[in-house]
Chain A
Amino acid sequence: MTDNMIVVSDLKKSFKINRVLRNVTFTVRKGSIFALLGSNGAGKTTVVKILSTLMKPDSGNVTINGLDVVRQGYYVRECISLTGQFTAVDEVLTGRENLNLIGQLKRLNGVKNKVNEWLSFFHLQDAADRKVSTYSGGMRRRLDIAMSLMGKPQIIFLDEPTTGLDPQNRIAMWDLVKELAVGGTTVFLTTQYLEEAEYLADYIAILHGGKILAEGTPQYLKTIMPHRGAQLNFQSEEQAAEAMALLNENGITIESFEQKLPSLEDVFLALTDEKGGK
């Protein structure tokens, strides 16, 4: 047995004349956090749908946990869990009923206790018996994730998990993802934010133009990505001016330090230029 949880090779998918995935190849190690980074319309969701057996590829091979997603879809579905871009909850049912439904479908033992555990884990116990239609966006997302986590799947797919969340909920989501990986779950997430991918992932693949443009650990990608600037804010104009000259020698108090990350567009430009120039 290998340590690879997901192996994707030569994946192709077109919608009519639109070749969304031209040649996608990557592997995801067991227990790691893998981020598929790409801008809107890059085909991230298409990859997630193929990996979670919702869509058939035109060609190429995808195995999950050693199982072929096309031929052994049923067994693949037993070890995965999907949280799509749109919250997958029943609006007219309560949070508890939603969790119950998934627990029953997964034939879990002691569904009632597990439902209570997840409700309190996601701080939803007070809202448990209210209709989901009364929940806030963040609460819905938490319920959605709780439903995905019922039955402890080996792999969880999170398609843009932080899109539409406020900063507070976003940080809570990041903590959760880290926690899941610590618990041994393999996390496959998609994002359009470089910052999110760098913070969370053990391994990042950048999807652009239907191909994996670059991949590697965040540390490695930093070395091949365009240069980053840093914006330094000082207490006064004078200090700032002085700092320009003395920064190397003297320890001037820096009040705040803000890293300027390159935008995804910059990354694409830099990486495609580099490849084209060779």
Chain B
Amino acid sequence: MHKLKGISFLDSWIMFKRCLLISLRNPEALLMATITPFFLMLLFGTVFGNIADVGSLNYIDFIVPGIIMQSLGQASQHSAMNVATDMTKGIIDRFRSMSISKSAVLIGHTGAGVVRNTISSTVIIITAFVLGFRPHGGFVDWLIVVALLTLVNIAISLIAVLCGLISKTPEGSSGLMFPLFILPFISSGFAPTDTMSGGIRWFAEIQPMTPIIDSIRALTLGLPLGNSLWIALAWCIAIIIIAFTAAAQVYKRRLS
């Protein structure tokens, strides 16, 4: 509040480097977060791929956006756990009793989360190519995909930070993240929503994963985009604003 913007940015940057360094010391975590979606891709692409019917599309092409969302959820677990670990140890009191910007800790964790998620999604996309993913979007389409994925990435990382702040233990925080692993399955990620019935279909159509997945699919496969991109963007921005505000509030409250 009393501090110049530039200085508080520097605090966040130092915290970001700290969080990255912590991740580097725990490569197993990133490996696990990448292996699960990798096997999911393998399983859906090979075993279920033959029985799934998604019209004229190749099933592997169809599921790539859903698997990416899954991998983001998986990898974000570690943001939640790292935040929860910080909050339960004395280190957070040290940071809070220093003259550094209050949001630096949260921004640092979010930033490191985004980097980890990006690594994990990149691995997933490369794997997809090896398994037969053949997108035909243009350069601009890909730019939009990357931009959208970055926004989604920030939104999910912030949700993870929030989960880490709310939970009492690191183990509990990954439990709170569980819905994020399930949501891609109840969306257009693995089956078209019009093949679903009743309540599940209704839920799949209104939840944010569907417009995000539809947008990525349309952009990578050259399908009509409709208004799904705008809905996806609106969701991302809303989640980012709400999750950040909530996280900042919880951070302040949990410590006083």
Contact = CB atoms under 8 A, between A and B. Distances in A.
Interface of A: 49, 52-56, 74-75, 77-78, 80-82, 84-90, 92-93, 97, 101-102, 104-107, 131, 147-148, 157
Given A52-B97, A92-B26, A86 B256 contact: no
Interface stretch (B52-60, B88-96, B138-146, B210-218): B88-96
Contacts of B100: 105
Interface residues of B, number: 25
A54 B98 contact: no
8 nearest A-B pairs in the assembled complex, by CB-CB distance = A88-B90, A86-B90, A88-B94, A77-B99, A82-B97, A92-B25, A78-B99, A52-B97
Contact of B21 (A74, A84, A93): A93
Nearest to B94: A88
B94 A84 contact: yes
B192 to A, nearest CB: 44
Given A101-B18, A105-B11, A80 B1 contact: no
Given A54-B256, A55-B256, A74-B3, A82 B94 contact: yes
15 contacts: A54-B256, A56-B256, A75-B2, A77-B98, A82-B93, A82-B94, A84-B93, A90-B22, A93-B21, A93-B22, A101-B14, A105-B98, A106-B98, A131-B25, A147-B94
A223 B96 CA distance: 40
B97 A80 contact: yes
Interface of B: 1-3, 10-11, 14, 18, 21-22, 25-26, 89-100, 255-256
A105 B92 CA distance: 14
A251 B93 CA distance: 56
B14 to A, nearest CB: 5
A88 B89 contact: yes
A97 B97 contact: no
B243 to A, nearest CB: 24
Given A105-B11, A131-B25, A86 B89 contact: yes
B81 to A, nearest CB: 12
Contacts of A84: 90, 93-94
A81 to B, nearest CB: 7
B1 A53 contact: no
Contacts of A54: 93, 96-97, 255-256
A236 B3 CA distance: 71
Contacts of A87: 90
A92 B22 contact: yes
Contacts of A86: 89-90
Given A86-B89, A90-B18, A53 B97 contact: yes
